A and B are shown apart, each in its own frame.
Chain A
Amino acid sequence: MFLQTVLMALREIRRNTLRSVLTMLGVVIGVGAVIALVSVGRGATQKVTADIGKLGKNLLMVSAGARVKGGASSAAQSLNMADMQAIAREISGVHAVAPGSSSQQQVIYGNKNASTSITGTDNNFFEVRGYAIEKGRQFTEAEAQSGVPVCVIGATVKTELFATTDPLGAQVRVGKISCQIIGTLVSKGTAGMGQDQDDLMLMPLATFQRRITGNNDISLILVSAEEGLDTSIVAESIRALLRQRRHRPVGSDDDFNVRDMAEIADTVTSTTTALTALLGAIAAVSLLVGGIGIMNIMLVSVTERTREIGIRLAIGAFAGEVMMQFLLEAIVLSTLGGIIGVVLGLIGSFFAARALSLPFVIPPEIVGLAFAFSALVGVLFGYLPARKAAQLNPIEALRHE
């Protein structure tokens, strides 16, 4: 008899294609949307975390100005070469330091121009930030000392200004000066939050200070800590040193800022966590909407079918048999809808991940959860009204219009 009921349920599903499809649609949408959203959220988190690793795990950044909310700095006594040398000399665990004064400038070559970040630095920069020379060379000692206008360009600047021609030896205009290109950098790709790490131009610090900013300040000191050290301890020693050098009274706030990558990673992670929470909330809403959709269709279809239930009861079906038939129908439709929803959700997130160049992540527990929730709603709301109808006496059910 069970087999008989299964066959009957399947026949009813086939017979009422439109109703079956609509019922499944609620499940499909609920499950699909949740899976797609969560998968994309997870992918974004993974990508950002991986990108931060690319910036350099042991990197610390020292800048002038007190920390204000949001991580920006307010104006204060600036940093200089002596501060940098003191850090290199006195702090243990420091592997290398490099200055990193930068300013956004227009760079012109022939009839092409590009806006990029010009950084005044020294050869330690390559080590600290993990850049390598692709063609050409780094700065010579003489160039670094004298402040002649030479520069090394990143891959983005190279393609924007030179396309396929060889940039080595070419003269580009930066502000009022003409600068000779002596090297190009190996591409590093994008970093966390889509920042292009190849959109930069390096020149000796002396050149930068004399010809571009016109002062001896260093806006940023980059410090790379030795491998395996806790960067927060290194950061703490740098803080103590700088407070002393800048004569900060005890109890006053810092008028400079030491950030380590772990801290930056934390900030970014908290952002992506918020993003994931937001996506999760949207997912929960769509699951709910899907659930209500299923509920609706199921209720309507059972109401519509109360007469059918009456007929079946009248010609000799037990209430239990009718309920079993409806339960099976609901199970078949819900699981089928659930499977289609999982497949569509995964396909959707696969293509979304490709379009956004995020890694494609399958969140197994969400797949399970969304599937279980929708299937449960489907079965419950297919079954409960049918149960109610089957407990009517046949005439009451038949009279239902």
Chain B
Amino acid sequence: MSAPSVQTANGEAIIELRGVKKVYGEGESEVRALAGIDFDIARGDFVAIMGTSGSGKSTCMNILGCLDVPTAGSYRLAGVTTTDLHGDGLTLLRRHYIGFVFQGFNLLSRTSALENVELPLVYRRVAARERRTAALRSLELVGLSDRADHTPQELSGGQQQRVAIARALVTDPELLLADEPTGNLDSARTQEIMNLLVDLNRKRGITIVMVTHEPDVAAYANRVVVFRDGLIVEDSRPGRAH
């Protein structure tokens, strides 16, 4: 039933999913978004998740990001069984390990790019001055220093996307989860962002899990996992193309 397990590249796993299921609704309208997933991700790996629309990619990412809990099965993040935790415990885990880029950006409206990027640090009790420096550095990383004072409404889709990436990176997370981070970008920007991600993965050893529809983008990853109907149907390690 489970997809063939691929041996991890650098040994120790940061993510361990066992029999994870996610069911939405009940009875007639029941939707099995995840039908039972077993899947490890090694620390420092760069994984691309692919699959048709509705195959459960975002659902899986949300569970990986401790934003949602599975209906059944267990999820261990960095050795901690998250399925035993609730509310604040999951929040602490998120604060500590995870940077998340949403498929729909999820920026605060009427709030400048800089303030949006600063926000995760506010909740991590970072002092104002440091917060600002870190947020500006993060915006610079995604090439948006000159738009720091613009609100999301004043930014293009691609720029919003990059603010969302900057916000995910500002906390220097060990694990970066990105749901279609290049979905709204042209090919030049896509290449820039992908180079940035590869760089973060190689130089800082950040583990990256990224959802994408484009094989070109998936090709930047070390490992490609394909979802269909809530199951993993393919799990491979093509040689890095770039």
Interface assignment of B94: CB less than 8 Å from any CB of chain A: yes
Interface assignment of B221: CB less than 8 Å from any CB of chain A: no
- Cβ-neighbour of A311 out of B88, B108, B124, B171 (below 8 A): B108
Interface assignment of B219: CB less than 8 Å from any CB of chain A: no
Which chain B residue lies CB-closest to A396?
B68
Would you give the 0/1 interface string for A313-324, flagging 1 where the beta carbon is closer than 8 Å to chain B? Answer: 111111111000
- Cβ-neighbour of A315 out of B110, B119, B125 (below 8 A): B119
Interface assignment of A8: CB less than 8 Å from any CB of chain B: yes
Interface assignment of B27: CB less than 8 Å from any CB of chain A: no
Interface assignment of B76: CB less than 8 Å from any CB of chain A: no
Q: Number of contact residues on B: which range applies?
A: 20 to 34
Which chain B residue lies CB-closest to A320?
B88
Q: How far is the CA of A308 from the CA of B109 in the complex (A)?
A: 9
Determine the chain A residues whose CB is within 8 A of the CB of B123 once the complex forms.
312, 315-318, 321
Interface assignment of A43: CB less than 8 Å from any CB of chain B: no
Q: Are B120 and A395 in contact (CB under 8 A)?
A: no
Interface assignment of B69: CB less than 8 Å from any CB of chain A: yes
Determine the chain B residues whose CB is within 8 A of the CB of A337 once the complex forms.
none
Interface assignment of B147: CB less than 8 Å from any CB of chain A: no
Interface assignment of B167: CB less than 8 Å from any CB of chain A: yes
Determine the chain B residues whose CB is within 8 A of the CB of A320 once the complex forms.
88
Task: Name the distance in Å between B152's Cβ and chain A's nearest Cβ.
Answer: 11
Task: Name the distance in Å between A389's Cβ and chain B's nearest Cβ.
Answer: 13
Determine the chain A residues whose CB is within 8 A of the CB of B111 once the complex forms.
15
Determine the chain A residues whose CB is within 8 A of the CB of B122 once the complex forms.
4, 8
Task: Name the distance in Å between B89's Cβ and chain A's nearest Cβ.
Answer: 10
Which chain A residue lies CB-closest to B167?
A315
Chain A, range 108-159, C-beta contacts under 8 Å to B: none
Q: A315-B167, A316-B95 are in contact. Are A395 and B100 (CB under 8 A)?
A: no
Determine the chain B residues whose CB is within 8 A of the CB of A8 once the complex forms.
122
Tell me the count of chain A residues lying within 8 A, CB to CB, of chain B: 25
Q: Are B106 and A398 in contact (CB under 8 A)?
A: yes
Task: Name the distance in Å between B24's Cβ and chain A's nearest Cβ.
Answer: 11
Q: A1-B125, A321-B123, A395-B62 are in contact. Are A314 and B67 (CB under 8 A)?
A: yes
Q: Are A317 and B91 in contact (CB under 8 A)?
A: yes
Which chain B residue lies CB-closest to A310?
B106
Which chain B residue lies CB-closest to A319?
B87
Determine the chain B residues whose CB is within 8 A of the CB of A1 once the complex forms.
125
Determine the chain A residues whose CB is within 8 A of the CB of B69 once the complex forms.
393
Q: Are B67 and A316 in contact (CB under 8 A)?
A: no
Determine the chain B residues whose CB is within 8 A of the CB of A318 once the complex forms.
87-88, 91, 123
Determine the chain A residues whose CB is within 8 A of the CB of B65 once the complex forms.
314
Q: Are B108 and A16 in contact (CB under 8 A)?
A: no
Chain A, range 358-401, C-beta contacts under 8 Å to B: 391, 393-396, 398
Q: How far is the CA of A235 from the CA of B113 in the complex (A)?
A: 86
Chain B, range 51-97, C-beta contacts under 8 Å to A: 62, 65, 67-69, 87-88, 91, 94-95
- Cβ-neighbour of B68 out of A316, A321, A395 (below 8 A): A395
Q: A15-B111, A316-B123, A395-B62 are in contact. Are A311 and B106 (CB under 8 A)?
A: yes
Determine the chain A residues whose CB is within 8 A of the CB of B125 once the complex forms.
1, 4
Determine the chain B residues whose CB is within 8 A of the CB of A308 once the complex forms.
108
Would you give the 0/1 interface string for A332-371, flagging 1 where the beta carbon is closer than 8 Å to chain B? Answer: 0000000000000000000000000000000000000000
Q: How far is the CA of A247 from the CA of B122 in the complex (A)?
A: 96
Q: Are B87 and A15 in contact (CB under 8 A)?
A: no
Q: How far is the CA of A318 from the CA of B110 in the complex (A)?
A: 22
Determine the chain B residues whose CB is within 8 A of the CB of A315 once the complex forms.
94, 100, 119-120, 123, 167
Which chain B residue lies CB-closest to A397?
B67
Most chain B CB atoms below 10 A, which of A16, A310, A315, A395: A315
Q: Are A313 and B106 in contact (CB under 8 A)?
A: no
Q: Are A393 and B67 in contact (CB under 8 A)?
A: yes
Q: Are A394 and B67 in contact (CB under 8 A)?
A: yes
Determine the chain B residues whose CB is within 8 A of the CB of A307 once the complex forms.
106
Determine the chain B residues whose CB is within 8 A of the CB of A16 once the complex forms.
110
Which chain A residue lies CB-closest to B151?
A15
Would you give the 0/1 interface string for A1-22, flagging 1 where the beta carbon is closer than 8 Å to chain B? Answer: 1001000100000011000000
Task: Name the distance in Å between A2's Cβ and chain B's nearest Cβ.
Answer: 12
Determine the chain A residues whose CB is within 8 A of the CB of B171 once the complex forms.
316
Which chain A residue lies CB-closest to B128?
A4
Q: Are B119 and A395 in contact (CB under 8 A)?
A: no
Q: How far is the CA of A395 from the CA of B24 in the complex (A)?
A: 13
Q: How far is the CA of A395 from the CA of B110 in the complex (A)?
A: 21
Q: How far is the CA of A398 from the CA of B102 in the complex (A)?
A: 10
Q: Are B68 and A393 in contact (CB under 8 A)?
A: yes
Q: How far is the CA of A232 from the CA of B107 in the complex (A)?
A: 80
Q: How far is the CA of A391 from the CA of B86 in the complex (A)?
A: 11
Determine the chain A residues whose CB is within 8 A of the CB of B167 once the complex forms.
315
Residue ranges of A at the interface with B (Cβ–Cβ < 8 Å): 1, 4, 8, 15-16, 307-308, 310-321, 391, 393-396, 398
**5 closest A-B pairs by CB:** A316-B95, A395-B68, A315-B120, A316-B123, A394-B67
A to B CB contacts below 8 Å, 8 in the list: A4-B125, A313-B91, A314-B67, A316-B91, A316-B120, A391-B87, A393-B68, A394-B67
Give 15 new A-B contacts, CB below 8 A, not counting A1-B125, A311-B106, A315-B123.
A8-B122, A307-B106, A311-B108, A314-B94, A314-B100, A315-B167, A316-B120, A316-B124, A316-B171, A318-B88, A320-B88, A321-B123, A393-B69, A398-B67, A398-B102
